C-alpha cells in the first residue's frame, strides 16, 4: 500500500488561500488505510480548516467534501463532474498519483496535494506504518531472504552488512535493525547461507527509464483473417 501523511495545516491553508470554493477530495483505498485521506480524515481536515477560519479570518472559503473509492482510476473520477464544476480548487487527499489523476481528468481545475506521499509500506500495528519497497523495478528478494536491502538498509547496499552494524543495529539509525543482519539470519534459517557469499555487482538504476509504464495486455493488431 502507498503510505502518506497529511500536510501541516499551515501549508494547506497557504495553498488554498487564493481559492474561494474548495472541494476536499478523499481516496477510499490506500489513503483510507494509512489514515491520511479517507472519509474520516477528509471531514477532520474540513473541520480543522473551518476552526482555523473562525479563529483567524484571513480569507473565507467555502468547503465541500467527498471521498471516491480510488482517485487513480479515471472511471471513479467521472462521478465528480458536478462537484468539481462548483469549486475553484480541489484539495486532493489522494497520494501523488491521485492528485495527478484528478488533475488529468479536470485540466481546467487547480488540483492541490493535501498529503505528502511518503513510501510504499505495511502496517506494523494500529497507527504505525513501515516502508518496505522502493519500486526499484528489479526485485532481488529471492536472493535476500525476502528482506529488501534497498529500502531497509539505510545505505541501500547490495553486499552487506557494512562495518557500521553493531549488535544488529544500524549506525545511521541506532533504533533500526540492520537489514543485512536480518537477511543473514533469515538465510541461515532457510539453509541458504551460500547466497550471502555471492557478490552482487552494483546496480545501474539509470537503465530503468522513467516514467515507467506497464502493460499486462498484449498488443494485438487485428488483421483481415482475424475474428
Partner 1 sequence: MYLPITDNIQNNQVNRMKKSSPDHSLMPPCQVACPLHMEIREYVDLVAQGKIMEALQVIRNDNPFPSICAYICNQPCEEACRRSQVDKPVAIRALKRFAVEFGGDRMIQAKAETTHSERVAIVGSGPAGLAVAYYLRKLGYPVTVFEADSEPGGMLRVGIPEYRLPPKIIDAEIQRLTQMGVEIRVNTRVVSLDLLFDMGYQAIFVAIGAHRGRKLRIPGADLDGTWTAVAFLRHARLRQRVDVGEKVVVLGGGNVAFDCARTARRLGAKEVRLACLEPREGMLADASEIEQAEEEGIVIYPSRTFTRILEQDGHVAGVDFLNLRSMEFDKEGKLHLDIIEGSEHSLAADMAIFAVGQGPDLELFSGLSGIEVTRQGTIVVDHDTLSTRHPGIFAGGDVVTGTSSATQALATGREAAFRIDDYLQHRYPQVGKEVEGRLEGDLLPETIKMIRKTERLEPSILSTGERVESFEPVELVYDWEVAINEARRCLRCGMGAEILFQDKCATCLTCLRVCPYHVPYLDDSGTIQIPAEQCQACGICVAECPAKAIVLRKPYDRRHITEELDHDLKSAAQSKSKPFIIGFCCQYGLFGTGTLAGLWRGAKAGIWIVPVLCAAKVETEHILRAYEMGAEGVFIAGCGEQCARENTAFWIRQRVEKVRRTLSQIGLEPERLETFNLAATDEDPVKALDKFTEKIGGLHLISVIMQEVKK
Binding stretches for partner 1 (CB under 8 A): 8-10, 28-29, 32-33, 35, 38-41, 43-44, 47-48, 50-52, 54-56, 66-67, 69, 79, 82, 123, 125-127
Instruction: Quote the least distance from Cβ 41 to partner 1, whole Å.
Output: 7
E strand spans, the chain: 2-6, 21-27, 62-68, 89-92, 110-113, 115-125, 128-133
**Tally of CB atoms within 10 A around 61:** 19
By beta-carbon proximity to partner 1, the closer residue of 73 and 188 is 73
By beta-carbon proximity to partner 1, the closer residue of 125 and 175 is 125
Instruction: Quote the least distance from Cβ 192 to partner 1, whole Å.
Output: 31
Residue 68 φ/ψ, nearest 5 degrees: -100, 165
Instruction: Quote the least distance from Cβ 36 to partner 1, whole Å.
Output: 9
Question: In this structure, are strands 115-125 and 110-113 parallel, antiparallel, or unpaired?
Answer: unpaired
Instruction: Quote the least distance from Cβ 52 to partner 1, whole Å.
Output: 4
By beta-carbon proximity to partner 1, the closer residue of 33 and 109 is 33
Contact 22, 89 (CB under 8 A): yes
Amino acid at each position: 500500500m502507498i503510505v502518506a501523511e497529511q500536510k501541516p495545516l499551515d501549508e494547506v491553508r497557504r495553498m488554498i488561500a487564493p481559492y474561494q470554493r474548495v472541494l476536499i477530495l478523499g481516496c477510499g483505498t490506500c489513503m483510507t488505510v494509512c489514515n491520511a485521506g479517507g472519509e474520516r480524515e477528509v471531514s477532520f481536515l474540513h473541520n480543522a480548516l473551518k476552526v482555523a477560519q473562525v479563529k483567524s479570518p484571513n480569507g473565507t472559503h467555502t468547503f465541500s467534501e467527498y471521498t471516491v473509492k480510488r482517485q487513480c482510476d479515471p472511471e471513479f473520477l467521472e462521478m465528480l463532474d458536478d462537484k468539481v464544476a462548483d469549486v475553484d480548487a480541489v484539495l486532493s487527499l489522494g497520494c501523488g498519483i491521485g492528485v495527478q489523476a484528478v488533475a488529468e481528468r479536470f485540466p481546467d481545475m487547480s488540483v492541490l496535494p493535501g498529503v505528502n506521499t511518503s513510501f510504499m509500506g505495511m502496517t506494523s500495528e494500529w497507527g504505525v506504518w513501515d516502508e518496505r519497497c522502493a519500486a526499484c523495478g528489479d526485485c532481488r528478494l529471492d536472493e535476500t531472504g525476502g528482506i529488501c536491502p534497498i529500502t531497509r538498509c539505510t545505505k541501500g547496499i547490495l553486499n552487506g552488512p557494512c562495518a557500521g552494524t553493531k549488535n544488529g543495529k544500524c549506525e545511521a539509525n541506532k533504533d533500526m535493525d540492520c537489514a543485512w543482519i536480518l537477511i543473514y539470519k533469515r538465510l541461515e534459517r532457510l539453509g541458504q547461507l551460500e547466497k550471502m557469499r555471492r557478490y552482487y555487482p552494483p546496480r545501474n538504476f539509470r537503465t530503468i527509464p522513467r516514467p515507467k509504464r506497464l502493460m499486462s495486455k498484449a498488443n494485438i493488431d487485428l488483421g483481415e483473417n482475424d475474428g
